[in-house]
Amino acid sequence: MKKSRLLLLFIPIILGIIAVTLVLSENRQSTPQNNDASESVTPEKVTIVTTLFPLYDIAKQLAADTGDVSLLLPPGVEPHSFEPTPKDITTIQNADVFIYTGNEMEPWVADIVATLPSSVIVVDASKNITLIEGEEHSHDHGGKDDHAHDKEEKNHEDHTLDPHFWLDFSNTITATNTISEALASLNTFDNTTLTTNTTNYIQQLQNLDARYSTTLGTCKNRTIVQAGHRTFGYLAKKYNLEYVTTEELSPNSEPSAQDIANLVKTIRAENAQAVFSEELIEPRIAETVSNETGVPILMLNGAHNITQAQFESNTSFITIMEDNLKNLRSGLSCD
């Protein structure tokens, strides 16, 4: 009986100890979780939407982990005929920063920008860049009189300026500074890190420019013969190369039989070692010219956009331009 009474006496004490132990255990478990949660909180990333790949790559290099950078143009899509979907427009409206190439490449931007909230910083990457005229290829006028010829030449003067400014790396550096200034205005970035990233990327572009200048200065052939739309005018002008194409600025233009014949004639006259074709563009005309002349087809990438595989492997603008230099070196017989 005494043992029973003692047991009954200790039961409340034992239950009390168990209750206290459970409470302490819960507190110990919850406290680290709260600490982990507070430690895992990071500043919200700046949302940056870009239209074309060169701008996407610049923004990624500058913003690094502080920015959530997206490419509006789907990988593999040719940009000249691109039109944004309602979802794309919503994405732009919800961004902190919207970066586009310029009105020459993206005429659809103006209407969208007019409706954007003031919270979106809009960056025209062609700011402070002088665009060159999109000189067209030569045409055989087939016996037209001088008046008709002059009228056609006048019509050619009405075409838009060449929007592919990033293929002159001096322009790419200017665009990099423009984008860097826009990001700095957000007061979200650590300015020291942003300045360092900007300086590093510009140094890469300067080194790339030096390699192009050194290599292309040794070429035995000085003419880029391209079956495709006029993309590489800035590159040719920068490095004192001639540039002959079959098509105009728009890749939707169709070369005539005479245009193709003129390209074949140029290859033979210049003793060209290759015909160049642009990535993401159907190489049908290049294949025709190659079959006619026996020269190989070498690819050049205008870097407007990249393939899905390149996107997934984090291909950079610098890498694309280095690949272009390899093919230019081969096709133009450079030392």
Of the three residues 160, 180, 205, the one that is the final residue of a domain is 205
Specify whether 186 is located in the same domain as 241.
no
The pLDDT, as a whole number, for residue 228 is: 87
Give the CATH number, domain containing residue 198: 3.40.50.1980
The beta-strand segments (E) located in 14-86 are 46-50, 67-71
pTM over 0.75, yes/no: yes
Whether residue 68 sits in one domain with residue 161: yes
Take residue 37 and report the two structure tokens written for it. Answer: 């949660």
Q: Are 97 and 182 in contact (CB under 8 A)?
A: yes
Instruction: Please indicate, yes or no, whether residues 103 and 252 belong to a single structural domain of this protein.
Output: no
Q: Is residue 263 situated within a structural domain?
A: yes
Residue 238 lies in a domain: yes
Q: Which amino acid appears at position 74 of this protein?
A: P
Tell me: do 287 and 176 sit in the same domain: no
Same domain, residue pair 187 and 61: yes
Alpha-carbon distance of 102 to 92, in angstroms, equals 15
**Position 11 in a domain:** no
Report pLDDT for 251. Answer: 61
Contact 288, 260 (CB under 8 A): yes
From CA 198, how far away is CA 64, in angstroms rounded?
11
21 inside domain: no
Q: Looking at the chain, how many residues does it have?
A: 335
Which residue segment(s) compose the domain that 311 sits in? Answer: 220-331
Boundary-marking domain end, from 205, 229, 254: 205
CA distance 74 to 56: 12
Within 8 A by CB and 6+ apart from 173, the residues are 202, 205, 206
Q: Are 175 and 224 contained in the same domain?
A: no
How many CB atoms are closer than 10 A to CB 155? 9
According to the model, what pLDDT value does residue 129 have? Answer: 97
Are residues 70 and 46 in contact, defined by beta-carbon separation less than 8 angstroms?
no
Give me the amino acid identity at 281: I
C-alpha dihedral, 85 to 250 to 163 to 211, nearest 10°: 110
Nearest alpha carbon to residue 333 among 248, 224, 254? 224
Residue 19: inside a domain: no
199 with 51, same domain: the answer is yes
Say how far apart CA 46 and CA 44 lie, in whole Å. Answer: 7
Give per-10-residue mean pLDDT for the chain (335 aa): 47 52 47 42 80 97 93 89 92 97 93 95 97 62 39 45 96 98 89 94 98 97 93 97 83 79 94 93 91 96 93 95 98 95
192 and 100 housed in the same domain: yes
Provide the number of structural domains found in the chain: 2
Residues 165, 228: one domain? no
- Whole-angstrom CA distances from 110 to 102, 114, 122, 259, 296 are 9, 6, 11, 35, 42
Residue 1, domain member (yes or no): no
**4 falls within a domain:** no
Same domain? 200 vs 224:
no
Do residue 251 and residue 190 come from a single domain?
A: no
198 contacts 177 by C-beta, under 8 angstroms: yes
Last residue of a domain, one of 170, 205, 240: 205
Other beta carbons within 10 angstroms of residue 121's beta carbon come to 17
CA 304 to chain centre: 6
Q: 279: closest CA among 240, 327, 214?
A: 327
Structure confidence at residue 16 (pLDDT): 55
Residues 193 and 228 in one domain: no
Contact 269/222 with Cβ under 8 angstroms?
A: no
How far apart CA 310 and CA 321 sit, in angstroms, is 13
Give Dmax (Cα) for the chain.
132
Domain-embedded: residue 241:
yes
